[in-house]
Structure 1
Amino acid sequence: MLEIVTAHEPAVRLGAFIGVAVLVGLWQTLAPRRPARSSVLWRWSNNFAITLLNTLMLRLLFPLLAVGLAAIAAERGWGLLNIIDIPFPLALLVALIVQDLVIYAQHVMFHHVGLFWRFHKMHHADIDFDLSTGVRFHPVEIALSMLIKLAVVLLLGPPVVAVILFEVILSSLALFNHANAGLPPRLDRIIRKIIVTPDMHRVHHSVIRAEHDSNFGFNLACWDYLFRTYRAAPEAGHEGMTIGLDAYQENRRQSLLWMLLLPFRRG
């Protein structure tokens, strides 16, 4: 099974992305948590266009992505997990957990370091919250994130399959926890003890600064509990909260060009 995942990495990642996007799209269409404030067609066209642009950019700027570097690291014995002798299942588990912790730490950094926030705020400027928000990231942020991932691969030496599985998990849960939908309250309280749910992550997209500087996790919920960045719910409730950033509430037609130029605007 793991050999199949490794041998067909692009197809596995694309298939998982499309499959999860369809399921989450159906879920939020049949049971939306909040009414849309802007045109869904317009937002999806531009938000998914930025995803396509990011994919092409990564292939051009980083011909050696994290998966390829992990394969080279394994061949040459680079990285901690390629130096120490531990069982493969344990190495796989450690690699998945460490990669997730790094993504959490990166997310916190992108909020609190001004230069990085200029690019990350494009993700938060969306005035609605649905699965397309989960793929809306500025190309510069995606490039910086890839550099961090490459550094982690070099230092940690994760198994190739761990890098592939983590990318599949990351993209799938980003779609899930940005869904304009909600789990039954009792089920949500149970699941959010393990992974980030839509109601848990939606707080992070509140217009209130103290709320959008909380709930940084994308996959495992434990980091927010451990580092005390967890907030249970928005002050105004999920139906009453305002999504986005104060400065961009009136920009309802956020085009692809508008998003790309946002970090370079004043304010």
Structure 2
Amino acid sequence: MIDFNLRISVFLLVFSALLVWQWQRPRSALLQWRQRWQHNIVLFMFGALCVRIAQPLLLSLVAVFGQNFGLFNTFDLPFWSVVLLSVLALDCLIYWQHRLFHEIPLLWRLHRVHHSDPELDVSSAIRFHPIEILLSLVIKAFAVLVLGIPVEAVLIFDMLLNASAMFNHTNARLPKWLESLVQLVIITPDLHRIHHSRESEETNSNYGFFLSIWDAAFRSKRKQALNGDENLNIGFPGTKTYQPDSLKALLAMPFKTFQKSDFKKRSH
């Protein structure tokens, strides 16, 4: 219960702070925020319910079967170093999970719900299909078991991941002098905005959610949009203006095979 209360408190605090930032210093005008926020919040509620039900069960199974098991338990390391290595390992795992969700067609069917948002702001960080949320939990639980990651490290990483995801989706930008420094280590709104482009070449870059070092190490980092930030078109990759027009359409996206005719109403 303490774990859940702490995470939700940090989430609400960071969400509120970033909401104020993008309201006070908006990067661009948000023309469709009402419908988008309705959809994103409902998806978040579905996802939160999945986490609330599934995560305690998965962590309990890990705790039962993972005592004295896992890579980090084979070394006599200080606890602080195990926590640090665990956070780094989990962040690298998220990078590769995200990248594979783009590269494997079946997984992309789930993840394209996130990329269907036609505008980008802090609410976009909670726009994920519930099935993707559940699959991510299973992947994380497997990593926790195999690596022997302590519960404390999982809690720290979850809070870092949620906070950084909200930060890099925010409809705001850092000052230029600060941007170049911060993006050396952390994924910024400038970097992640490129990842949400409708151009596939841009979409398939900047996969990190927290640390940008993985994109740099695995050669997927893109510092500038192909045609400049002012011409960057946010939304569903491979289309000009298409977006799901209802919550039902969003939930059905993983099970739908799109044809060119699906995009005619809103493409030009």
**Maintained 8 Å contact 1:177/1:197:** yes
Instruction: Provide closer, same or farther for how the CA distance between residues 43 and 56 of structure 1 changes in structure 2, counting only shifts above 3 A.
Output: same
- Residue 249 of structure 1, aligned match among 241, 245, 249: 241
Instruction: Provide closer, same or farther for how the CA distance between residues 71 and 163 of structure 1 changes in structure 2, counting only shifts above 3 A.
Output: same
Normalised TM-score (structure 1): 0.91
CA distance in structure 1 between the partners assigned to 2:22 and 2:157 by the alignment:
24
> Structure 1 stretches of 5 or more lacking a match?
1-6
CA distance in structure 2 between the partners assigned to 1:97 and 1:158 by the alignment:
11
Query: Which amino acid in the other structure matches residue 111 of structure 2?
Result: H
Question: Does 236-245 or 139-148 show the bigger shift?
Answer: 236-245
Query: Number of residues paired by the alignment?
Result: 257
Kindly indicate whether residue 210 of structure 2 is the aligned counterpart of residue 219 of structure 1.
yes
CA distance in structure 2 between the partners assigned to 1:73 and 1:156 by the alignment:
13
- Equivalent residue number for residue 110 of structure 2: 119
Question: Does 174-183 or 256-265 show the bigger shift?
Answer: 256-265
Instruction: Provide closer, same or farther for how the CA distance between residues 159 and 96 of structure 1 changes in structure 2, counting only shifts above 3 A.
Output: same
How far residue 235 of structure 1 moved from its aligned partner, in angstroms, is: 1.8
Kindly indicate whether residue 34 of structure 2 is the aligned counterpart of residue 41 of structure 1.
yes
User: What is the root-mean-square deviation in Å for CA atoms of aligned residues?
Assistant: 1.7
- Equivalent residue number for residue 17 of structure 1: 11
- Equivalent residue number for residue 265 of structure 2: none
**Maintained 8 Å contact 1:122/1:137:** yes
Kindly indicate whether residue 173 of structure 2 is the aligned counterpart of residue 182 of structure 1.
yes
- Residue 121 of structure 2, aligned match among 104, 126, 130: 130
Which residues in structure 2 correspond to 1:47-196 (within 5 Å)? 47-66=40-59, 68-69=60-61, 71-72=63-64, 76-196=67-187
How far residue 37 of structure 1 moved from its aligned partner, in angstroms, is: 3.6
How far residue 211 of structure 1 moved from its aligned partner, in angstroms, is: 0.3
How far residue 247 of structure 1 moved from its aligned partner, in angstroms, is: 3.7
**Maintained 8 Å contact 1:70/1:158:** no
**Maintained 8 Å contact 2:125/2:166:** yes
Instruction: Provide closer, same or farther for how the CA distance between residues 254 and 20 of structure 1 changes in structure 2, counting only shifts above 3 A.
Output: farther
Normalised TM-score (structure 2): 0.91
How far residue 81 of structure 1 moved from its aligned partner, in angstroms, is: 1.5
How far residue 36 of structure 1 moved from its aligned partner, in angstroms, is: 1.6
Query: Which amino acid in the other structure matches residue 116 of structure 1?
Result: L
Report SS of the residue matched to 1:96: helix
**Maintained 8 Å contact 1:181/1:198:** yes
CA distance in structure 2 between the partners assigned to 1:89 and 1:62 by the alignment:
24
